[in-house]
Structure 1
């Protein structure tokens, strides 16, 4: 049985966590923030040329990719088709008045994007993304005759371990659920919680992908994670509300 104001742990990067926390608080939840990912720009990776000169399509893989690209070469960009994988990425582009040539489709992942391109003639595509991550899109498209270039504009890092913050969060009120947005965040959560990990492994998670479920099982989380549909803030909030309605 949960309290009337269940305690949610928000693991989003500092500076990118406010909207999610505020929405949950407005719904009556108690929210604590433990950043399990930090985002940093990559030096020496400028967007030197106009993308429309060399490419037919530019694909942004995240809102962070949009923001770092915009800082170097302000959007909107004309003369090139702009694509986004996820709904949050599409919103970030639309906020900058960038028209989209392709509307992302659920479940907003690499597989869904490749399915959208299945009948598209091979073209020149620039993939703007963060360092690392999956290479499914690049490898599949190249196999199909596409010319694919990649531009890494940022990297994901693990924040410094702050045991005082972790202890403060856990001592304030027992956690009821943890919100995780990526596999990297889940990796870092396990590292950062240190001696508190045994208790953390007993908590339910809300995640954005099936791959995160598989990773959580490998780490030893005792409860099946809840997958947000659609992935992202709105889908996670809906999933959290449904979870606590079922368990109230």
Structure 2
């Protein structure tokens, strides 16, 4: 981000493997030092199960993608099933997901303006016009039910397409612990409640180091969850990698009034 100098600040980047590159590049551009520690492992659902799940599906009126992974793993089997997604209304829960959909050739994507998450998307969709419409919700196994519930309450016929599963990483937190202890990591990020929970669980007896390090999240619900788990300093940013980068810049680069 132009004009922002993190002056070597270490930032713990916890996005899943394969999704952290752009955010890390932004941190480096601001002269920060990203450290990778994926907070969740993504596993694709077997192709045969995806084919079976789509076998009885007819064309939808709207497809909603809840994450970049949902876009990356959900679009190809849908194109395989229907041949093309031309004419299908498409929505994304945030800017990062919308960017992934655009990489896959989709356009005119409905996306919340300033926030991210199912609640934000529900707020910008014309839910009153979805009664009796067929809505495809593309997500991971056991995903958040907030958006699904909101759609069903408006009378939408919701079909779930669960194309991946999220797993607890097997990584050793011991590599991160000394970096937190001696201040070489001065901020960390969690873009979902699951990542937050996993990091604190993996930290084990060292979880206090995370709780005492400024946390950056891009959704109010994750902030509430972090507060309930005794994280001391929580900064809620706008959506996407750009929002997280701007949050770091605001907290560490811009003057702040002293807090009593």
TM-score of Structure 1 vs Structure 2, range by shorter chain: 0.7 to 0.9
- CA distance, structure 1, for counterparts of residue 218 and residue 45 of structure 2: 26
Residue equivalent to 1:99: 107
* Cα drift, residue 131 of structure 1: 1.6
Does the 8 Å CA contact 1:5/1:29 hold for their aligned counterparts?
yes
Deviation string, structure 1 residues 92-149 (Cα, Å, up to 9, x no partner): 1112221236343332322232232234141111111112232122222222221111
1:39-54 matches, within 5 Å, as: 39-43=42-46, 44-46=49-51, 48-49=54-55, 53-54=58-59
Matched, 1:228 2:237: yes
1:188-240 C-alpha deviation (Å, 9 max, x unpaired): 110111232122211110001111111111211122x10111x1210000010
Take 2:182 and 2:18, find their aligned partners in 1: how far apart are those partners? 22
Instruction: Write out per-residue CA displacement over residues 140-171 of structure 1, whole angstroms, 9 at most, x where no aligned residue.
Output: 22222211111110111110041442246447
Distance 1:193 1:247 in 2: 32
CA distance in 2, matches of 1:202, 1:42: 37
Distance 1:237 1:214 in 2: 21
Supply the distance in 2 between the matched residues of 1:49 and 1:141 (Cα, whole angstroms). 23
Deviation at 1:242, TM superposition (A): 0.8
**Cα distance in 1, alignment partners of residues 102 and 213 from structure 2:** 36
Match of 1:190 among 171, 196, 200: 200
When normalised by structure 1's length, the TM-score is 0.88
SS of the aligned residue for 1:54 comes to coil
For structure 1, the 5+ residue unaligned runs are none
Q: Distance in 2 between matches of 1:170 and 1:101?
A: 39
Moved more, 33-42 or 156-165: 156-165
- Asked if residue 139 in structure 1 is aligned to residue 149 in structure 2, the reply is yes
Contact 2:180 2:186 in 1 (8 A): no
For these two proteins, the number of residue pairs brought into alignment is 244
> Does residue 128 of structure 2 align to residue 125 of structure 1?
no
Does the C-alpha gap of structure 1 residues 136 and 4 become closer, same or farther in structure 2, counting only changes over 3 Å? closer
Aligned to 1:79: 87
Provide the residue aligned with 2:212 in structure 1.
202
1:221–1:112 Cα change, 3 Å = closer
CA distance in 1, matches of 2:183, 2:143: 35
